[in-house]
Structures are given as C-alpha cells and as structure tokens.
Amino acid sequence: MALPPMLSIEQALSNFSPGLPFAVAFSGGADSTALLLACARRWPGQVRAVHIHHGLQVAADAFETHCRALCQQLNVPLAVRRVQAGHAPGQSPEDAARKARYAALAEAVQSEWPEVHDIALAQHADDQVETLLIALSRGAGLPGLASMPAHWQRQSLDWHRPFLSVPSAALRAWLQNQGHGWVEDPSNTDESFTRNRIRARVLTALAEALPAFRETFARSAKHAAQAQEVLNEVAAQDLAHIGVPPRIEALQRLSRARQALVLRHWLRLQHATTPSSAQLNELLDQLSACTTRGHRIHLKVGVGFVQRDGQHLSWQAA
C-alpha cells in the first residue's frame, strides 16, 4: 500500500474546504502564523482569528501584542480571550489548559461572529506523531491510537486540522521564505513535559532510523481510526438493543468484550465521561456477579458513579 505523502502548505489548503467565513486559532507561534497567513491569502476577507491568553507565563502579554499587530497588518478581525485553567485532582495542567482553550475558542467565535461555524487549528504532522507516541506510552486503545482527527464536530461547530500531513519544518521554512516571523513559546523547550521530550529526543532519532516515520505513523493512525468507526457502529447497535439506561440482563448476554465496548459508548455518549481500564474491568466483574436481586453495584467510573438501579445501570455525577 502506498504511503500517504507529506504535503506542502499549498497542497494541504487545496484539500481544505471550510465554510466561509471561518476562524483560525492563532497563538502567534510558527504553526498558527503559517495557517493564518496562508488562509488569509487564499480566502481574503473570509478569515477571523481568535487568540487565547493563558496567563501562564510573563511572555503571554507579548504574544497577544504580536498577534494583534499581525492581524491588523493582514486586516483580519481578532478576538482575544483570557483563561485561567486550574486542573482538577488527577488531571494534568496541559489537559486542563487544552479544555479551557477549546471552550474559549468556541465561546469567542459564537459570541463575536455568529455567522462563523468552522474553526481551523494548526496541529501538524509532527504533532500527530507526538500524540500517537504519547498514546502508545499510556497503553491507549484504538481511540488514542487514532490520534487527532482532521475534522470533527463539537459545540455546534466544525473543527478542522488542515496541516496534519504537513511537517513542522515545512511550515517554518515556508514562513521564512515569506519573510514572516513568529513568537517562540519558552515552555516548548521545557522537557518536564512529555510532548517536549518526544520532540527534542525521539523525533530526531526516528528520522535517522525510520526516515518515512511521519507517513507510516499517519497510516497506522488512520487504520486505528477506521477500526474505531466500525466499533462505534457495533456499540451503537448494542446500545439500541440493551436500552438507555442499560438493562443488566441484556448486557450479560453479550461477550465481555462487547460489554466493555457498549459501556464505554454509553458513558461517553450519554454522560461525557470515560472509565479507566481498571474501573471498567471492575464494573464488568460486578456485572458478571450480578445474579441476585440484592446484588449492589456502586462504583467510581470516570467523573461519577455507576450503580445498580433495579434491573438497570444508572450513572450519577460525583
């Protein structure tokens, strides 16, 4: 099977068809600067920009100043949102910041430009490799191995990553050829973050040992995403059969693997939560043992509790 080729910026945008007008998430770094500049040239007058000010470092004010200046130069409307993302117990600061950033992007677009329904993000081929390696290091299943989707829908918006087949080096080379600078986030060199360690140490080694790793890893992620689509269809069919809330007796007639699949689907779809492997295994064990009317189930799962409610399972937030 032929490998999916890495693309240039121009090739990537030729495959990108957002609804117009659309917004670009603009941090001021090289990746989002390349995305904003290329999109503003391809769709003049149709691009908006949103900058998220995290307030996590002294340089954040300079990032905002840089973004305002470039947007003024390009005649691109800019919205700025400030977030302070505190993380919950057991949640990483990076994950908390990411969730706060996405929520702020959606809020900015929907309040500033109600006519905008599409948002473009600047993650690229190297980001995709890093995401896959992090998923592997955590023992992730297919959803994690599928890495980042190129397109998805959330909060009544269409989100896009048009640069997933463009290497980071190509974006920076393109900007340099255009004579445009960008801001460097000092935290990108902090190797206390897993992603930064991978970027600094692993990608270089991979390039030497496996020159086509971006293409082959992208193909593996695509295979995982396709397999997950099939499993989602099976889970949806099983959930329709066992009902919402799930009937315990109907669940018990499924194999353990399909019980796990449909329970994950139910929790994600109905309650926006994901169980850990240990939590799910304990729940499956309790289901297997649930053969009498008096058997009680009350387990911490995701951010809440799954419990027995008569002949059904129910979930309640913590």
pLDDT(13) > 50: yes
Q: What percent of the chain has pLDDT above 70?
A: 94
Domain ranges of the chain: 9-216, 243-317
When pLDDT is averaged across residues 172-180 and rounded to a whole number, the result is: 94
**In this predicted model, which residue has the larger pLDDT, 266 or 3?**
266
Respond yes or no on whether the N-terminal peptide bond of residue 44 is cis (omega within 30° of 0). no
User: What average pLDDT does this structure show over 49-73?
Assistant: 86
Using the predicted structure, report yes or no on whether residue 2 has a pLDDT greater than 70.
Answer: no
The residues with which 247 forms a beta bridge, in sequence order, are 312
Predicted TM-score (pTM) of this structure: 0.87
pLDDT for 1:
43
Report the first-to-last Cα separation within the chain, whole angstroms.
48
Residue 44 CB partners (closer than 8 Å, separation 6+): none
Q: Is residue 45 over pLDDT 60? A: yes
Residue 171: its H or E element: helix 168-178
Output the pLDDT for position 115.
97
For domain 9-216, give its CATH number from 3.40.50.720, 3.40.50.620, 3.40.50.1240, 3.40.50.300: 3.40.50.620
Gap between the Cα atoms of 229 and 170, Å rounded: 31
How far apart (Å, rounded) are the C-alpha atoms in residues 131 and 118? 23
**Structure tokens given for 175:** 């900007």
Can you spell out the DSSP letters for 210-238?
-TTHHHHHHHHHHHHHHHHHHHHHHHHHH
257 pLDDT more than 50: yes
Q: Contact 104/81 with Cβ under 8 angstroms?
A: yes
* C-alpha 237 chain-centroid distance: 25
Mean pLDDT of the chain: 91
Query: Given this model, what pLDDT does residue 110 score?
Result: 96
Q: What share of the chain is helix, strand, coil (3-state, %, to 5)?
A: 50, 15, 35
CB 311 within 8 A of CB 248: yes
Under a CB-based contact definition with an 8 Å cutoff, are residues 169 and 31 in contact? no
Confidence of residue 58 (pLDDT cuts 50, 70, 90): low
- For the stretch 110-138, pLDDT in tens is 999 999 999 999 999 999 999 999 999 99
Predicted confidence (pLDDT) at residue 3 exceeds the cutoff of 60: no
What value does the mean pLDDT take over residues 296-302? 93
